[in-house]
Amino acid sequence: MSELHDECGVFGIFKNDESMNIVDETYLALYALQHRGQIGAGIAVNKDGNMKYFKGHGMIPEAIPESELNRLGKGKIALGHVKYSSGEAVDHENLAPLVMRYIKGQLAICMNGSITNFHELREELNQGAAIFQSNGDTEIIAYLIARARINAVSIEEAVREAVCKLKGAYAIALMSPSKLIAVRDPMGIRPLCYGKIGESYVVASESCVFDSLGGEFIRDVAPGEMIVIDEQGLHSYKVTESEKTALCLFEYVYFSRPDSVVDGVSVARARQRAGELLAQQHPVEADFVCGVPDCGIESAIGYSMASGIKYATGLIKNKYIGRAFNDRKKNNEYMMRIKLNALKHNVEGKRVIVIDDSILKGATSKHIVELLRAAGAKEVHMRIASPMFRNPCYLTSDTTPKEDLIASEKTNEEICKYIGADSLGFLSTESLPQIAKECKLNFCDACFTGNYPLDVSDTSRADKYSQKIES
Ligand code: SF4
């Protein structure tokens, strides 16, 4: 139950099956991506170059009422997006997809990730008298594409030129009047894949979308690759180069759904492996092991299998709240009490090992230990399926500053004391890559090690999205 904020999720579809309703398919896809963002969602649909869209705040049913789906009508290409706040004010202009008019008609675009040279690019565009409606990364990219398109021979060429100016982590989906385009950052930090539903092509942040839509996963988009889908089929281009790759390891720990496969590795299997490694690294005698829903469950199963200690349910999550409640900054303690409860019947009088995916601020872990003790647990041993989270992430949607990260200042023993557990153990940093050992990419582990894969000196979140007010 990470305190790290979620990622955004992107989706795109190019229809080749006459009977398909792509607005309905996009709507369903957003449900499959809901875990990646609950602050808002949007759909844009393209019929013969005319684009209609609807965006709203909240989780899918609230953000996009079903009545709006009819208004969006039918089309050939569609985009969908779920959003978590990237630190910017989440007013309507910052929701995606962004739909704009430019020299070649209309363009719609959405992304997941964070542009680390945001200030530099925005200033350059400001000097060219650009007028922005939002204060997010997506509009910067749209502007770069529009500007490049003036001289570029094609939209592909304009997108290539634009992304070559970007630094950072991104998975972008966009549509021109006749094409669906998806681009992944040169290090492959953010995930992106594509598949098919019948004869229609789809791109998505995660493979679980293809299962939800009854389609098939084809492959991950490679780092630095742009795929273009048009009436002639799918085309692939290498548009950016990097000497190294750096897939976000936190995709396996927390961001992605367990039924997704990210760059060749099952997320569920990666979490189970983390549990197996934890059992080797931090053994303890106990009556049963349980997981903090949702992301700690698979690791608890792995711990149980490796240690021989039985697995049982210790905590129950209220499934009818969702993380939106947290997103709206309601009272934290109140929110946690509504979200989780301990299963007294299983816990009372027992020595419990409880596994969670990560600890950021420590408040959630403290609450979990208190819940288990209040339910009568004799001992509570907390195990964390990732290393100590010591450094802010500048490459996702999260905005947690270093001073708020409990592991940036406290030792294992001090954190254990703070959360009130009998013992505490984190997965070792050295062993973390083993959870996804079949992955052909190298990893970003900067939140644990401080070794950022690229320069993040221009990414002060505090002022990235603040408006400069001058008279
Ligand atoms: S710093 Fe952590 S959360 Fe951010 S991209 Fe790297 S591994 Fe992922």
Tokens standing for residue 141? 């990219």
Contact 227, 44 (CB under 8 A): no
Closest CA to 173 of 108, 83, 100: 108
| Domain ranges within the chain, ordered by starting residue | 9-246, 266-438
Task: Give the side-chain half-sphere CA count within 13 A for 340.
Answer: 25
Whole-number Cα distances in Å, 321 to 29, 65, 97, 171, 325? 20, 18, 25, 28, 7
The rounded Å distance from CA 66 to ligand 1 centre is: 35
pLDDT band at 325 (very low <50, low <70, confident <90, very high): very low
The rounded Å distance from CA 398 to ligand 1 centre is: 9
pLDDT of residue 106: 97
Nearest atom of ligand 1 to the alpha carbon of 394: 4
Nearest atom of ligand 1 to the alpha carbon of 391: 1
The rounded Å distance from CA 112 to ligand 1 centre is: 13
Residue 454 Cβ inside 6 Å of ligand 1? The answer reads no
pLDDT of residue 469: 35
pLDDT of residue 465: 47
Dump pLDDT digits (tens) for 210-248: 999 999 999 999 999 999 999 999 999 999 999 999 999
The yes-or-no verdict on residue 163 having pLDDT over 50 is yes
pLDDT of residue 41: 97
Dump pLDDT digits (tens) for 179-199: 999 999 999 999 999 999 999
Residue 253 Cβ inside 6 Å of ligand 1? The answer reads no
Neighbours of 253 (CB within 10 A): 29
pLDDT band at 4 (very low <50, low <70, confident <90, very high): low
pLDDT exceeding 70 applies to what percent of the chain? 91
pLDDT of residue 42: 98
pLDDT of residue 320: 75
The yes-or-no verdict on residue 471 having pLDDT over 80 is no
Q: CA 293, CA 350: separation in Å to the nearest integer?
A: 19
pLDDT band at 332 (very low <50, low <70, confident <90, very high): low
What CATH architecture is 9-246?
A: 4-Layer Sandwich (3.60)
Residue 360 Cβ inside 6 Å of ligand 1? The answer reads no
**Domain covering 266-438 assigned CATH 3.40.190.10 in the classification:** no
The rounded Å distance from CA 440 to ligand 1 centre is: 18
* Helices and strands in the chain: count of H runs, count of E runs: 17, 23
Helix %, strand %, coil % for the chain, to 5? 30, 25, 40
Give every strand in the sheet of 423-426, ordered side by side. Answer: 288-291, 351-356, 379-384, 423-426
Q: CA 220, CA 189: separation in Å to the nearest integer?
A: 12
Residue 395 Cβ inside 6 Å of ligand 1? The answer reads yes
Q: List the catalytic residues.
A: 8
Dump pLDDT digits (tens) for 80-123: 999 986 444 478 888 999 999 999 999 999 999 999 999 999 99
pLDDT of residue 338: 80
**Average pLDDT, whole number, for the chain?**
92
Q: CA 114, CA 120: separation in Å to the nearest integer?
A: 14
Mean pLDDT of 259-273: 98
Dump pLDDT digits (tens) for 358-400: 999 999 999 999 999 999 999 999 999 999 999 999 998 666 8
The yes-or-no verdict on residue 274 having pLDDT over 80 is yes
Nearest CA to ligand 1 atom 2: 447
Residue 249 Cβ inside 6 Å of ligand 1? The answer reads yes
- Residue 194 pairs in a beta bridge with 203, 219
